[in-house]
Amino acid sequence: MSTYHSGLSSLPSCGARTTWDAIGPSAVEPGSATGSAAAMRATESRARSLAWSLQAPRPLPGPLAADYHGRRQLAADVDSQDNVYVMNRGQHPIIVFDSDGNFLRSWGEGEFDRRAHGICASVDDFIWTVNDNQHCVKKYTLEGELVLTIGKQFEPAEKWSGNPFHTPTNVAVSPVSGDVYITDGYGNSRVHRYAPDGRHIVSWGEAGVGPGQFQIPHNVVIDSDENVFVNDRENSRVQVFDKNGVLQEIWPYLYRPQALAMDKSGIIYVGEQLQIPELFDHPGLGHRLNVLSHNGKLLARLGSTERGDAPTEFIAPHGMAVDSKGNLYVGEVSFVNLGVRFDPPVYYKVFRRLSRIS
């Protein structure tokens, strides 16, 4: 039987006294790991140290708007200058904006397809990407020059073999060691760790519902102690491991977690997606963002009970990033999740910024 530690005693409870001012009614749904409404109200009364406004990046000027339109700008990360690298399932796979939303450049044309899936900016300013049906992970310069490929492109490992890779989902790079952690993914139930030069170090996980097992490990972030936080999507939980795959903690009070990000203070953001047609009108499942302390305490939930792209609404958060100022960028797969279900199809905002204003 698998065993695991009951808590992350070595990790600080970052942001435990922080509450969140979101915009509009139903934008904050108080909650906690213990479910104590009184405790949450007490937390709210101690501080309102952060406030947010929900914005879209500036529209692209003139003829660029149509050429760079994407129905699924599904992931993002930021470099050391807070430039934003948006992964787009469109003609221009990587679109780069400055922190004010001004278009800078694009790259990756011809190197990605409709299965572009994950992106990570490492602290040494390289961009790591996953296009899941290529069955590999690629490292680029900020200008889009390919410098390393981990795995063999278009040569998948045998499905469910545990060998890298079969339809990987995302990648994260340790801010300390530079080691590369890859969630693998749709055709495996593994996490793989590699050295910065692409040498394999260790893998862990298998298909299942038990501790340390996965049903679609979908996203991953690494903290400064090299704890590994993994969205275990179809098991509706986040699992936390050390760098060698030893399970530290399970956070079970999340619904189909897809998007994942961590800010410099250790606060963790988890985006949920509702995808089951029979539950689409359920007011309390998916289409929301969870704000968690570093040891997993639920601080707040952001999002309306209705799906949409109004200031308090989300549809299908798929990838997120946080810049040095605490601004949160959210990429969604709104069109394929909801828009295609209408006749004629409805096109929603697919990439937005929650700007920290205090």
Hey, is 161 helix, strand or coil? coil
Gap between the Cα atoms of 169 and 185, Å rounded? 5
Going from N- to C-terminal start, the domains of the chain cover 20-356
Candidate from 135-139, 288-292, 305-309 with smallest mean pLDDT: 305-309
Quick one: average pLDDT of 258-279? 92
Alpha helices in the chain (DSSP H): 37-46, 64-67, 334-337
Overall CATH class of domain 20-356: mainly beta
Q: Quick one: pLDDT at residue 181?
A: 98
End-to-end CA distance of the chain: 48
Dig out the tokens for 299 from the structure: 């601080």
With beta carbons less than 8 A apart as the criterion, state whether 106 and 100 touch: no
What secondary structure does DSSP assign to 260-292, as a single string? EEE-TTS-EEEEE----GGGTT-TTSSSEEEEE
What pLDDT, on the 0 to 100 scale, is given for residue 216? Answer: 97
Distance CA 184, CA 171 (A): 9
The pair of structure tokens assigned to 163 is: 């060998």
pTM of the full predicted structure?
0.85
Confirm if 3 and 252 have CB atoms less than 8 A apart.
Answer: no
Q: Which residues of 286-300 are buried (b: 16+ CB within 10 A; e: fewer)?
A: bbbbbbbbbbbbbbb
120 neighbors 173 (Cβ within 8 angstroms): yes
What average pLDDT score do residues 313-319 get? 93
Looking at residue 358, what is its pLDDT?
62
Query: 25-34, pLDDT tens digit by residue?
Result: 222 232 333 3
Which pLDDT score, from 0 to 100, does residue 292 have? 95
Q: Report the chain's C-alpha Rg in angstroms.
A: 19
Residue 71 confidence (pLDDT): 67
* Residue type (1 letter), 64: L
Cβ atoms of residues 257 and 272 within 8 Å:
yes
Whether 207 shows a pLDDT value over 90: the answer reads: yes
pLDDT tens for each residue of 109-122: 999 998 999 999 99
Smallest CA-to-CA distance from 44 within 30, 23, 26, 24 is with 30
Residues in the chain: 358
297 vs 285: CA distance, rounded Å:
19
Question: Identity (one letter) of the amino acid at 186?
Answer: Y
**Band of residue 266 on the pLDDT scale cut at 50, 70, 90:** very high
The pLDDT score that the predictor gives to residue 19 is 31
Which one-letter amino acid corresponds to residue 113?
Answer: D
Region of poorest pLDDT, from 23-37, 44-58, 206-220, 270-284: 23-37
Separation of alpha carbons 11 and 293, rounded Å: 10
One-letter amino acid identity for 9? S
- Tens digits of per-residue pLDDT, 40-75? 333 333 223 345 555 555 555 555 565 565 567 889
Over 70: is that where the pLDDT of 324 sits? Answer: yes
Least confidently predicted of 63-77, 286-300, 303-317: 63-77
Instruction: Give the model's pLDDT for residue 56.
Output: 53
* 8 Å CB contact between 172 and 120: yes
What is the pLDDT confidence band of residue 20, given thresholds at 50, 70 and 90? very low
Cα angle: 233, vertex 353, 343; to 5 degrees: 70
Q: What is the pLDDT of residue 147?
A: 98
pLDDT category at 300 given cuts 50, 70, 90 is confident
Cα(59)–Cα(139) distance, rounded to whole angstroms? 28
Beta bridge partners of 184: 168, 190
Higher pLDDT, 114 or 126: 126
* Whole-number average pLDDT of the chain: 83
- Tell me the C-alpha distance between 337 and 316, whole Å: 7
C-alpha 327/C-alpha 306 separation (Å) is 23
Closest to 219 measured CA to CA, from 265, 266, 169:
169
pLDDT bracket for residue 36 (50, 70, 90): very low
Which residues, including other chains, have CB under 8 Å from residue 1's CB and lie 6 or more apart? none
